[in-house]
Amino acid sequence: MQFRKTLVSLLIFIGPLLSVAQSVNLPQGTKHGHFLDRLEILLQDDSNLNFSGMRPLSRKTAVEVAELADSLHKKYPYDEYYHLSKVDQYNLHSLLLNNAEWVRGNKDSFLSKKSLWNTFYKTKADLFQVDEKDFFLAVNPVIQEQQSLETGNSQRIFLNTRGVTARGLIAKKLGFDFYITENQERPPLFVQRWEDKFSAVPGAGFYKPYNRTAYDYMDARGSIYFSLAKYFHFQFGYDRNFIGNGYRSLLLSDFATNYLFFKINTRVWKLNYTNLFMELIPQNKDNPGNLLLPKKYAAMHRLDVNIAKWLNVGLSEAIVFGRPNRFEFSYLNPVIFLRSAEQQVGSPDNAMLGLDLKANVAHQAQLYGQLVLDEFVLKEITSKRGWWGNKYGMQIGLKYLDVVNIKNLDVQGEINFVRPFTYSHYDSIANYTHYNQPLAHPLGAGFIEEVGIVTYQPQPRWTAQLKMILFTQGADTANRNYGNNIFLLSGTRPYEYGYHIPSGAHASGVNTSLLVSYEIKENVFLDGSFLYRKYSVRNQPALSSNTTLFSVGVRMNMFRREYDY
């Protein structure tokens, strides 16, 4: 409560100082995400995309990059680096169409040939749109209906989502957006087991049982955006964030459910500095729906530096802590080193450091990586005795465009490695979690994971994606904590040394999926998919499982629900 009061007071103080244009962000899982990755690599030297590893991007930035790519394509139509394929041009026009408030120049191509009652779908992208000098508003329905067949399971697997999303600008100085859906879902059996183990539906907050083995939950998000001068940008919202350039993030992912946050972004010279203050829900096995849940908090600082036009390095630090419904004011200082502040208050909290980088190479590839340090002692690392307190993780990845000169055939490979006990803490409050879900990687800790993704868009409306995820992880069995379950207290470990990957029972998994999507009309997709998942624990057949899932669905103005863990 005190955290919210502090934020509201701050908003009231700086509100009258609004003076420059401010954009709302692209939505989670935007269909233009892969295309923006392509533009970043193809352009290579464009600082707007290269500048930050924090997601989501602002709509204004996305439009600026798309307009730059369009102008270079027209200026150098035969240049191998700036030439856009037919599919890229389609995606570029779609990106501009869906962010019309920031598009300069003629917008006639955005108009529908025929509107409904001269009110609805006057443009191709939005059910209802107002685009006046000092006011922009776009309102759209959100729908997803997915039906699945899981072999060996007599229950019907389904997802039924409906809701509404809207965004707006007032005088291009105050932005706002919201997204709210009502969902009924019966996921595959392995996801049901995940819910039974952690008392959470992945990506959801409070939920109710539905038809015995299904879940009913809401997904509500919303933010306001404003700027101070041209260097400081603010977002006060209830949503998710993502740090990094990979498919996974070891620093902060969008796997967990939404949370309240206040974000300050400062961009000047070759520096991009972000402060993120979050209000989270600690581990809680009860789901009563009529009690006030306790709170915990997190503070993050992140500095992006453009070492070169093609090379970006990011430094991050984070503190997760709990106080009786009170924020720790020492962590409100936007420039102090959080670890030093944490030591001054008695060192009771969970502190982490992060490093990430990305390098765009030859207008065709991107190398990226992350390093997260939770706790370590150098002499213990060099001794190679597997000390439990060496808690760290690493990521390395590669994106490569137009494989064997086939336009819009792109691949991505990624390896993630996280030591046991990383993200955990000696109490259940300060572990790196929110609402019984990890804030970073879905697997928690104590694993090695390989991710391979092939994305092909042969025609403007057709997209296919093949994804394979392999992982090896320890399993905590016989009520013993081997550091793989980040919700368990680190003090309950059975011994001090001998923790490697895997620690505990040897578990291995493969998750392979194929998705084919056809865009029927703007933002309306018909999806067909196949998923095969095999999970086995050595000498523990009761913990092993096989999943084969066939799905068809239609979605409108929303991301696709994934079961990729």
Look up residue 345 and give its two tokens: 């208050």
The identity of residue 316, as a single letter, is S
CB 466 within 8 A of CB 453: yes
Give residue 16's pLDDT: 47
Domains in the chain, start-ordered, CATH in brackets? 2-556 (2.40.160.130)
Give residue 346's pLDDT: 73
Give residue 464's pLDDT: 98
CB atoms within 10 A of CB 472: 15
Q: E strands along 256-401, which residues?
A: 259-268, 271-280, 296-308, 311-321, 350-361, 365-375, 391-400
Check residue 479 and report its DSSP letter: T
pTM: 0.94
Peptide bond into 77 cis (omega under 30): no
**Residues 10, 292, 5: CA angle, nearest 5 degrees:** 10
The identity of residue 434, as a single letter, is H
Look up residue 254 and give its two tokens: 């969008």
Check residue 454 and report its DSSP letter: E
Q: State how far the Cα of 486 lies from the Cα of 489, in Å rounded to an integer.
A: 8
Q: 3-class SS at 199?
A: coil
Residue 92 CA from chain centroid, whole number: 22
Burial category of 506 from C-beta neighbours within 10 Å (exposed 0-12, middle 13-18, buried 19 and up): middle
Peptide bond into 56 cis (omega under 30): yes
Q: Which of 155, 158, 138 is nearest to 147 (CA)?
A: 158
Per-residue pLDDT of the chain (565 residues; tens, 9 = 90+): 555 555 555 554 455 455 567 789 999 899 999 999 999 999 998 878 877 789 999 999 999 999 999 999 999 888 888 899 999 999 999 999 999 999 998 999 999 999 999 999 999 999 999 999 999 999 999 999 999 999 999 999 999 999 999 999 999 899 999 999 999 999 999 999 999 999 999 999 999 999 889 999 999 999 999 998 889 999 999 999 999 999 999 999 999 999 999 999 999 999 999 999 999 999 887 666 677 888 999 999 999 999 998 999 999 999 999 887 678 888 888 877 877 877 777 778 899 999 999 999 999 999 999 999 998 888 888 888 999 999 999 999 999 999 999 999 999 999 999 999 999 999 889 999 999 999 999 999 999 999 999 999 999 999 999 999 999 999 887 678 999 999 999 888 999 999 999 998 999 999 999 999 999 999 999 999 999 999 999 888 888 999 999 999 999 999 999 999 9
| H helix runs in 265-401, sequence order | 338-344, 378-383
Q: State how far the Cα of 450 lies from the Cα of 415, in Å rounded to an integer.
A: 5
Check residue 491 and report its DSSP letter: G
